[in-house]
Amino acid sequence: MSVRTTPGVRLLPNAITVLAMCSGLSAVYFALAGHPLGALAAISVAAVLDGLDGRIARMLDATSKMGAELDSLADAMSFGVAPALTVYIWQLQGSRAGWLVALLFAVCMVLRLARFNTLLEDTNQPPYAKEFFVGVPAPAAGLLALFPLLLSAQFGHLGWWAQEPVVMVWLLGVALLAVSRIPTLSLKTVKVPAKAMAPLLVAVALVAAGIITYPLVALAVVLLLYVLHIPFAVHRYRWLARHPEAWSVPPRERRAIRRTQRQLGLRRPLRRRVAGAARRVRLPLRNNGPGGPRRSWRRLELRRNRNNSQQPR
């Protein structure tokens, strides 16, 4: 019996998913017990486990419909219910508006997961769509919701980022990003070239050292970098939508296509351009005043033909 068909091995991805769900529910326990840092750590562990179960299932060829549904339920609890309750108990407790925002966050996360499941069965998407998520994925949204808590734990006091209106606006903004149509990069389709393996392993070692030494700072930096990558993801998505010739080529050839376009000069033309000039020259604006600047035709190496109007037609 091969390794891929062993029943115990095929059960491994679902077991990891159950562990992720238990970690998310443990975050609720820590939040109710008054330990917000424990809740933050539990949700972070759930995010790591959520990233492992899918990859292990694909590696072992153990993907199933039950596994997909179980993963969605675990994500709804770990990254929808747990962060909403944690933030509410930490800073919004006793506020009706705060409870409404926390409830809206949990609902948006469930809707985001439901849409994700429906997009998996959509066969009409373009080939480049598999490189992107539609909206911010559930693990990232769950950790971003705890960003004010993370800053308060790092600096040791409740600053302006932990004020009730700021926390509610932040939580609402993360919920809207989760259900939006904004494309974000998916790490599932990233292929690392062989020559980049050594630098990547060094970077992984540095990140691991940073997480062990300064866990809160490392997590805050990762979340900030994720937020800053969203404009790049939107630009890349739009560029791929306009260039069908780059849909099925590796990243190196895509960069070659961009360089070729720059070399061909496919840019917007200047607003004022001298006809017949050998190079692009921007002419100064005409000023009718007595001391204003004038066009210098000699500087442009052009001459006026004053006899044009006298030539026979």
pLDDT surpasses 80 at 286: no
pLDDT of residue 44: 92
| Residue 184 main-chain phi, psi, to 5 deg | -130, 150
pLDDT of residue 247: 72
pLDDT in tens, 205-261: 888 888 888 889 989 999 999 999 999 999 888 888 887 777 777 766 777 777 776
The total of structural domains in the chain comes to: 1
pLDDT surpasses 80 at 28: yes
pLDDT of residue 8: 64
Q: Which domain holds residue 29?
A: 7-187+202-245
Alpha helices in the chain (DSSP H): 7-10, 12-32, 36-59, 65-76, 82-87, 96-120, 138-145, 147-155, 164-179, 197-213, 215-242, 251-263
pLDDT of residue 106: 94
Q: Is residue 280 part of a domain?
A: no
pLDDT, average across residues 175-187:
90
Q: Is residue 275 part of a domain?
A: no
Q: Is residue 290 part of a domain?
A: no
Q: Is residue 298 part of a domain?
A: no
Q: Is 152 exposed, middle or buried (0-12, 13-18, 19+ CB in 10 A)?
A: buried
pLDDT in tens, 29-43: 999 998 999 999 999
Q: Is residue 110 part of a domain?
A: yes
Q: Is residue 142 part of a domain?
A: yes
Q: Is residue 148 part of a domain?
A: yes
The structure's pTM equals: 0.76
pLDDT surpasses 60 at 196: yes
pLDDT in tens, 101-153: 999 999 999 999 888 878 777 667 777 788 888 889 999 999 999 999 999 99
Close Cβ partners of 46 (under 8 Å, ≥ 6 residues apart): 20, 21, 23, 24, 27, 74, 78, 79, 82, 139, 142
Q: Average pLDDT over the chain, rounded to whole?
A: 80
pLDDT of residue 273: 45
CATH number at 133 reads 1.20.120.1760
Q: Is residue 64 part of a domain?
A: yes
% of residues, the chain, pLDDT over 90: 37
